Amino acid sequence: MSQMPVLSDAARGFMPLTMAARARRQPIVPVLGRAPRVHLWHIGCQMNDADREGLAEQFADIGFVPEVPLEQADLAVLITCTVRANAEQKVFGKFRELIPWKREQPGRAIALTGCMAVEHGEAILDQLPELDYVFDVREPDGFMAKLQALHAIDLDGPMPLPASDRLCAYVPVMGGCNEMCTYCIVPFVRGREQSRPVHEVVKHVERLVARGVRDVTLLGQNVNSYRDPDSGGRLPELLAAVDSVTGLWRLRFLTSHPRNAVPALFEAMAGLPTVCEQLHLPVQAGHDSLLRRMRRLYTVEEYRAKIDAARATVRPRLAVSTDVIVGFCGETDAEFAASEAMLRDIRFDTVHLAAYSVRPGTAAARRADDVPPAEKKRRLNHLLAVQRDIAARINAGYVGTEVEVLVEGAAADGRCFGRTRENKVAWLPPRAAGAGSLVRGRVDAATAWQLHVTPAAAA
Ligand code: SAM
Ligand code: SF4
Ligand code: F3S
């Protein structure tokens, strides 16, 4: 395990522990006479979606039945997030809901993994007396081996993975983050950057495509610093390799850091047929001094130039999304006003807004969290309203133009829904097309969040 970057004493606690050190309690293990069943629950970013998929496969490999509803489960696994205090509160809330479920039937157990497991380590076993296991999702082998040994008598070899009708999937191509944004706990809980080789990613995508997946998002906290450990190839080369997988229709990638958003990346986006016209490029703030305090190593002007270059290269129309934090330490009215001005100037399709939340062990935790909660909320709501208006205007510009929709399913009233290449939610008339079809159509109406599309033949 590589050494994680450490900024403060509190962060020293975030070292991964071996499974053996975490097995403080031995849950009662009943003989079931059948394979144990597992309920998985997750919260947080797309990395946790991908980890959930990975864990489901690993449970199936050791002979457990993954992904059953809670009432049918013997083991509940919480895949957690700690990026903001409210994510942790949701996990504690979910945990409280599980206590009566566990007490209902002897032998039921609860495991906790994901980013909170690394943050709290085995100390969380003292905090949550009903918790049975804590393990590191990046190194689940010790946990799986332990379960396999405990339940040996009920296991009958690997289980087939349940059939999946998924069209879209996340594929992690690198873990960890080497940036040290002062507000962020992710480098502590996810460790340093480690990329998977291109050939391994391609095999993973081929496996998914063989199971019916058509839209793949390559994942990394800082995905555009990807570097193949064998060849040194960067993200554009990885995109080119995955683009050539037969049967894949759409390719996306998340999350890019502005520092590493280079012309070669935009050219790859423009030139590779499966790569969609969508770029998520978190800016975090619209004032240079705020960016410096956050340790985001670019200026607003440099960021703006990257967006201009991306828009000029990826034609005809690139959807751009971002993340913005409001109420960071010492954020003045003028700095906040600059963030608003930047949103109005750049005009993003989507903005993920968050109120600053102090995270233990980060550099910013040593500064005063001096924007009062009510003011953070006011700033958040203000930018939400500003952005709703911008998104509505951008989407209104789609009316009368043609889009391509990958149909994902139908609502109860029969209307079909899916997403465009720009990742916009699109609605089609009832029974317009089955899930898994690609439909071209004209946009007839739009709101801030959705497009209404008439298929080409009927248009
Ligand atoms: N790697 C990405 C980047 O470069 O911005 C983001 C990953 S982070 C999991 C997702 C988002 O959470 C960040 O972009 C940031 O806006 C937000 N975030 C991270 N730490 C936060 C904190 N302490 N308080 C509020 N929001 C936070
Ligand atoms: Fe966190 Fe993203 Fe900054 Fe990494 S680049 S420290 S994940 S905000
Ligand atoms: Fe949360 Fe961990 Fe993702 S802290 S946002 S689940 S990397």
In this predicted model, what pLDDT tens digit does every residue of 362-375 receive, in sequence order? 999 999 999 999 99
Q: Which atom of ligand 3 is nearest to the CA of 48?
A: 6
CA–CA separation, 326 vs 379, rounded Å? 7
- Ligand 2 centroid to residue 337 C-alpha, Å: 23
| Count of Cβ atoms closer than 10 Å to residue 21 Cβ | 12
How many helices and strands, by DSSP H and E, does the chain display? Answer: 15, 17
Smallest CA separation from ligand 3 atom 7, residue? 186
In this predicted model, what pLDDT tens digit does every residue of 333-389 receive, in sequence order? 999 999 999 999 999 999 999 999 999 999 999 999 999 999 999 999 999 999 999
Ligand 3 pocket at CB < 6 A: 44-45, 47-48, 81-83, 114-115, 186, 189-190
Closest ligand relative to 303 C-alpha: 1
**pLDDT at residue 101 greater than cutoff 70:** yes
Domain 402-458 grouped into CATH 2.40.50.140: yes
- Would you list the domain boundaries of the chain? 9-154, 168-396, 402-458
- If you average pLDDT over residues 176-181, what whole number do you get? 95
- Ligand 1 centroid to residue 147 C-alpha, Å: 34
Q: What's the CATH fold of domain 9-154?
A: Rossmann fold (3.40.50)
CA–CA separation, 296 vs 292, rounded Å? 6
Could you tell me if 326 and 380 are in contact, meaning their C-beta atoms sit under 8 angstroms apart? Answer: yes
**pLDDT at residue 8 greater than cutoff 70:** no
Domains 9-154 and 402-458 share a fold: no
DSSP β-bridge partners for residue 284: 324
Mutation test of ligand 1: which of 184, 279, 296, 362 has the most ligand atoms closer than 8 Å to its C-beta?
184
Structure-block tokens of residue 92: 């504690």
**CATH architecture of the domain with residue range 168-396:** Alpha-Beta Horseshoe (3.80)
CA–CA separation, 347 vs 327, rounded Å? 21
Dihedrals phi, psi of 109, to nearest 5 degrees: -140, 155
**pLDDT at residue 75 greater than cutoff 80:** yes
- The secondary element (H helix, E strand) that includes residue 171 is strand 168-172
